[in-house]
Amino acid sequence: MNRFNGKTVFVTGVARGQGRNHAIRFAEEGARVIGVDLAGPVSTTHYPGATGDDLEETGRLLEKTGAEYRLHACDVRDLKGLERAVADGLVAFGGIDIVLPTAGITSLGATWELSEEQWDEMVAINLSGVWRTLRATLPAMVERGAGGSIVLTGSIAGIIGMPYLAHYAATKHGVNGLVKSMANELAPHRIRVNSVNPSNVATPMILNDATYQHFRPDVPGATQEDAIPAFSSYNLLDVPWVESDDVSNAVLWLCSDEARFLTGVMLPVDTGTVVKWPGA
């Protein structure tokens, strides 16, 4: 399929995980890609950040698709940097059709034990970083008048309450608030705004020792194998997590003409977690 021939997609968090997967999937379907990523550490996370090598690997994978692309090492906390990446992409490709603010972090902790730095960094990246991405990309999209699609990355934590993730959940509820407001603002410009809301996704954010230990506090030095039953217990379908491809399938569909009348939708990609009946 080539649903996105001639389209340009702007993706953040492109060095690995969901962001990389989205970029490659769009490229495989004919899109040009503008990708940004910090490609460096974030001080408050419990897992290693993406690296410059990761960003280079994304470039190699995009090269294999034959797609045109531009990649930038850029922090979503840096509006001027995002604006430079947008300007470079506009010169190269002429316009932006799709925006995927995918960059995000997580960390764990009881609300009353979080440090101020944990709170502020979470909000700066997961919520303000989304707004900055939109602030950098939307003026050109609106002025061009060709319509478009925006898919924000929410979470089941942006739909239901989850313990020990209050700072993360607050940002993801905020993301879904943006979806509702912006769907109204941008409809006159034929720009649709939706979100995907995954449960656990098999990326470094989830597949790490600290998360395994969090899910299995009863097992010292818990491994992935130890944690799988705990992960699975949250889901209606008998799997511990979804894959990045599962999320990309939803994102590509929301951006395609097949979903041309969908806007303001907060789509769970969650194996039934948000509707699970207690004891099911």
Q: How far apart are CA 191 and CA 147, in angstroms?
A: 5
> Do residues 266 and 197 touch, judged by C-beta distance below 8 A?
yes
Phi and psi torsions of 97, nearest 5°: -105, -30
No. of helices (H) and no. of strands (E), the chain: 9, 7
Delineate the domains of the chain, giving CATH numbers in brackets: 8-201+244-262 (3.40.50.720), 207-240 (no CATH)
- Per-residue model confidence (pLDDT) at position 72: 99
Provide the whole-model pTM. Answer: 0.96
| Beta bridge pairs of residue 196 | 153, 267
Q: How far apart are CA 45 and CA 184, in angstroms?
A: 34
**28-49 burial string, b = 16+ CB within 10 Å, else e?**
bbbbbbbbbbbbeebebbbbeb
> Do residues 83 and 96 touch, judged by C-beta distance below 8 A?
no
- Per-residue model confidence (pLDDT) at position 138: 99
The set of catalytic residues is 168
Q: Tens-of-pLDDT digits for all 280 residues of the chain?
A: 799 999 999 999 999 999 999 999 999 999 999 999 999 999 999 999 999 999 999 999 999 999 999 999 999 999 999 999 999 999 999 999 999 999 999 999 999 999 999 999 999 999 999 999 999 999 999 999 999 999 999 999 999 988 999 999 999 999 999 999 999 999 999 999 999 999 999 999 999 999 999 999 999 999 999 999 999 999 999 999 999 999 999 999 999 999 999 999 999 999 999 999 887 7
Q: Where are the alpha helices (DSSP H) in the chain?
A: 17-28, 52-65, 79-93, 116-126, 128-144, 166-186, 209-215, 224-233, 244-255
